[in-house]
Amino acid sequence: MAATLAGSRIKSSEKKTLGLTLTNKDFAYPDTKLYVDGVWRESYEGAAIDVIDPASGRAIGKVALASINDLDAALESTERGFAVWSDTSAFERSGLMRRAADILRSRVDATAHMLTREQGKPLPEAKGEILAAADVIDWFAEEARRTYGQHIPSRSSGVTQMTIKMPVGPVAAFTPWNFPINQAVRKLAGALAAGCSIILKAPEETPASPAELVRAFVDAGLPSGVINLVFGEPAQISTHLVTHPTIQKISFTGSTAVGKELAALAGRHMKLATMELGGHAPVIVCADADIASAVKVLVASKYLNAGQVCVSPTRFLVQDDVYDGFVDAFVDASRSRHIGNGMELGTQMGPLANDRRIAMLETLIEDAVGHGGHVRTGGHRIGNEGFFFEPTVLGDVQTGARIMNEEPFGPICVINRFSTLNEAIEEANRLPYGLASFGFTQSSRNAHEIAMRVRSGMTTINHNGLALPEVPFGGIMESGHGTEGGSVAIEAYLYTKLITSAAH
């Protein structure tokens, strides 16, 4: 049985999702404006583009596009915002952030509706993303009150030496369309907790939900200028902001190719940079693993957000003895996923966020088959309305195939086999990416080997424990640098200042 379109199995009388009806009457999709210097407004030149619903391929609203004049207004505003916010006590900043988190939670239904309409993910996933974002704000609100310095014993009596943590200055952040709220909140909350102002360039494809995130801070009482929100032509905006003397730090989430360009630009202008880039997560399943549990965890992780996740499990390596059983179980579970409009009850996977991804997946699959790969299930677009794609499993793909080297960013994985753990670790470490890695084993020795020897910023063993606010989130090598979670994340927005004073 092929993966099913969820909507086709559900009677219209049942088309209710966690308290939301499917009519757009209650939750109309809004046009999205810029938020510059405390005002929601169109761009000065009036430019705007359509926002497309990936479930239908049709336009559902518009987003305003900033011109250079709008960016200059945002830059002046962020300077003023920084002066006010960096002078606001950590205690007050923390309280305001907590209020924003509560406001975001209180609007979860309406915001989830917008997020699903513009991005495609199932409504429960959209709700989960918003509630997780509120937890991220709470986490950083607490961290704001713990940016401790040090007292350093001096060489002379009468000399006091200490360090304090200071906000680095106005930040420019660039976030993508796969988690429109969660990618933005890590940057917003980190910057605000540290006392920085921030200009956020959120994704043009999915603008309304990040605008709602910003609105939660505005309605919590954030002073004007502390957050400015812009959309526009990505390269024009990043070039203007990264090179501008007002901006002291940039933070980017997106592809490795774009990340390299922005990091190079930041380097030329001596700007601090955090880069959360692509991955190609290896998954090592040892013969001693609990296979049923591994399949359950991996199916849920693989098809989350239709696979458009930087930590999505991609290159499965399964030990010979359990290979056939694992593949059969994973293929069965993949086929029974319900694919459909994210607004419909029972949908487990929505469409891809844009049609570029479909063309890319089709190219990767054709190339993999040319490299000896077998399509074990899926491999095709579903229908011709919207951007739906089948959960796809490829087996026995040679390492020269593109999909073994490029992040597929879709509901597709490769399952290859290995005989010794050394072999699997060698393959896991073959690529220059180092974001997430997965291991499944009941042996503590194997778990230790995987954890210590697979090169990645994050290794999760026997479960998917990634992306909680309190744990680090970030990669190494071509997956970028810096971390956006845990107690170290706020450091990205702080510098250490020495104060040494001699008594008269």
| Catalytic sites, residue numbers | 276, 310
Q: Annotate 425-436 with b (16+ C-beta within 10 A) or e (fewer).
A: bebbbebebbbb
Binding track, positions 306-325, relative to ligand NAD; x by CB under 6 A: ----x---------------
Q: How far is CA 323 from CA 395, 415, 454, in A?
A: 10, 9, 21
Q: Closest distance between ligand NAD and the C-beta of residue 240, in Å? A: 10
Do residues 160 and 230 lie in contact, with contact meaning Cβ atoms separated by under 8 Å?
no
Give me the least distance between CB of 338 and ligand NAD, in Å please. 24
Q: Is 217 in the site for ligand NAD (CB under 6 A)?
A: no
**Does residue number 174 form part of the binding site for ligand NAD (CB under 6 A)?**
yes
Residue 255 or residue 429: which is nearer to ligand NAD going by CB?
A: 255
> Which range, of 67-75, 171-179, 219-227, 482-490, touches ligand NAD by CB under 6 A?
171-179
Contact 180, 206 (CB under 8 A): yes
Kindly indicate which of the ranges 109-117, 214-222, 274-282, 368-376 contains the residues binding ligand NAD, using the contact rule CB under 6 A.
274-282
Q: Which of residues 352-371 bind ligand NAD (CB under 6 A)?
A: 356
Instruction: Kindly state whether residue 473 participates in binding ligand NAD, applying the rule CB under 6 A.
Output: no
Spatial distance between the Cα atoms of 248 and 266, rounded to a whole number of angstroms = 9
- Among the listed residues 278, 307, 313, 434, the single contact to ligand NAD using CB under 6 A: 278
Q: What is the DSSP string of 441-483?
A: -S-HHHHHHHHHHS-SSEEEESS-----TTS----EETTEE--
Burial of 464 (0-12, 13-18, 19+ CB in 10 A): middle
Asked if 445 touches ligand NAD (CB under 6 A), the answer is no
118 touches ligand NAD by CB under 6 A:
no
Geometric angle at alpha carbon 445, from 284 and 425, rounded to 5°: 35
Answer whether 314's CB lies under 8 Å from 415's CB: no
CB of 410 to ligand NAD, least distance (A): 8
Each residue of 282-310: b (16+ CB within 10 Å) or e? bbbbbbebebeebbebbbebbbbbbbbbb
Q: Does 407 bind ligand NAD (CB under 6 A)?
A: yes
Q: Is 203 in the site for ligand NAD (CB under 6 A)?
A: yes
Q: What's the DSSP call for residue 84?
A: H
Stretch that binds ligand NAD, among 122-130, 192-200, 247-255, 451-459 (CB under 6 A): 247-255
Q: How far is the CB of 74 from ligand NAD (least distance, A)?
A: 15
Interface residue list for ligand NAD (CB under 6 A):
174, 176-178, 203, 234-235, 238, 253-255, 257-258, 262, 276-278, 310, 356, 407, 409
